[in-house]
């Protein structure tokens, strides 16, 4: 789990450290950003990500928590690649689907569970939080 890229390859990255955690997010913004029921987020130290190419950015404000997010994506193919949380600038979130090797992705928690789609079954081994994961 040490490199990845967007769909067209214009943006690529390399991780120089192991991720801190993998978290599923069910918030409304992540559902819209991922085009799915949740986002699979790989949390990595920001200084441990080397990016090749220049992603475009769109800033959002959390509907419930008011926190700013920079949503970084490929300007050519539109692939969501990273999210930067303004309240945790030392962390960058890598979208797991962009990893070259996703075999080591193992979510350890789920956040914004109260926004989860009703057809998603809770995992008996993964803690769930109704809002943000507390640092």
**Tens digit of pLDDT per residue, the chain (135 long)?**
699 999 999 999 999 999 999 999 998 888 998 999 999 999 999 999 999 999 999 998 876 778 899 999 999 999 999 999 999 999 999 999 999 999 889 999 999 999 999 999 999 999 999 887 664
Report in angstroms the alpha-carbon separations of 77 from 4, 42, 55.
Answer: 15, 21, 11
Q: How is residue 89 written in tokens?
A: 């600038």
* d(C-alpha 77, C-alpha 71), whole Å: 15
Q: What is the pLDDT of residue 76?
A: 97
pLDDT of res. 1: 60
DSSP string, 64-122: TT--EEEEEE-TTT--EEEEEETT-TTEEEEEGGGBS--TT----EEE-GGGS-TTPPP
pLDDT score at 17: 94
CATH assignment of 3-114, given 3.40.50.880, 2.60.120.10, 2.170.150.70, 1.10.760.10? 2.170.150.70
Position 4 scores a pLDDT of 98
| pLDDT in the model for residue 49 | 97
- The residues, any chain, with a CB within 8 Å of residue 21's CB and separated by 6 or more, are 42, 43, 108, 109
């Amino acid at each position: 789990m040490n490199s990845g890229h967007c769909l067209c390859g214009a943006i690529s990255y390399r991780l120089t450290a192991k991720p801190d955690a993998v978290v599923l997010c069910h918030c409304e913004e992540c559902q819209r950003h991922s085009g799915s029921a949740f986002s699979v987020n790989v949390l990595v130290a920001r200084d441990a990500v080397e990016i090749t190419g220049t992603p475009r950015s769109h800033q959002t404000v959390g509907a419930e928590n008011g926190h700013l997010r920079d949503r970084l994506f490929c300007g050519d193919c539109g692939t969501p690649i990273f999210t930067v949380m303004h309240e945790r600038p030392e962390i960058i979130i890598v979208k797991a689907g962009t990893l070259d090797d996703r075999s080591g992705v193992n979510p350890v928690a789920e956040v914004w569970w109260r926004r989860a789609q009703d057809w998603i079954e809770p995992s008996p081994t993964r803690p769930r939080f109704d809002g943000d994961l507390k640092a």
